[in-house]
Amino acid sequence: MLNRQVVKSESATIKIPELDFEIPPEAQRGSLSTVEGILMRATDELQALQEERKKVAPETAEAIDQFLVKLRACATGESCITFILDDPVGNSFIENPLRYPHLQVNDQRYSVIAYELATSWICCSRVECGLV
């Protein structure tokens, strides 16, 4: 399930309680990725300054190295995690891997409008515009 598409808005926070890990809204803002991609990007960003950390604060660098092993295990699917996408504005999304054709949402805030497209009109409009 790591290949689920994730839309993370600028106001969203990602939390992984098993690791006590949080990606704040300022990080990875406005991104379209997968769960795996978000975790790998977090791993890469934490790894980026490890050489400097080892010189300045070796204990901190060692703790981050141990954490990176756990985070990589989550990103590759070796460890189970809870991936929480918390967006107070509601502009973020995690793809549902299962399709439920009979699922109905009874929430007044959402509505679905199905439009019927007239393919003959589309073809005619392309010809008139010189697109065909």
- Would you state the pLDDT for residue 125? 43
Q: Which CATH architecture has domain 5-98?
A: Sandwich (2.60)
Q: Which two tokens stand for residue 127?
A: 């010809």
- Would you state the pLDDT for residue 95? 84
Mean pLDDT for each 10-residue chunk of the chain (132 residues)?
Answer: 87 92 86 91 91 92 94 90 88 78 62 57 46 46
- Would you state the pLDDT for residue 119? 53
- Would you state the pLDDT for residue 93? 87
- Would you state the pLDDT for residue 114? 60
- Would you state the pLDDT for residue 123? 46
Cβ 35 vs Cβ 64: under 8 Å: no
- Would you state the pLDDT for residue 41? 92
- Would you state the pLDDT for residue 99? 67
**What burial letters (b/e) apply to 26-37, b meaning 16+ CB within 10 Å?**
eebeebebbbbb
Burial of 54 (0-12, 13-18, 19+ CB in 10 A): middle
- Would you state the pLDDT for residue 130? 47
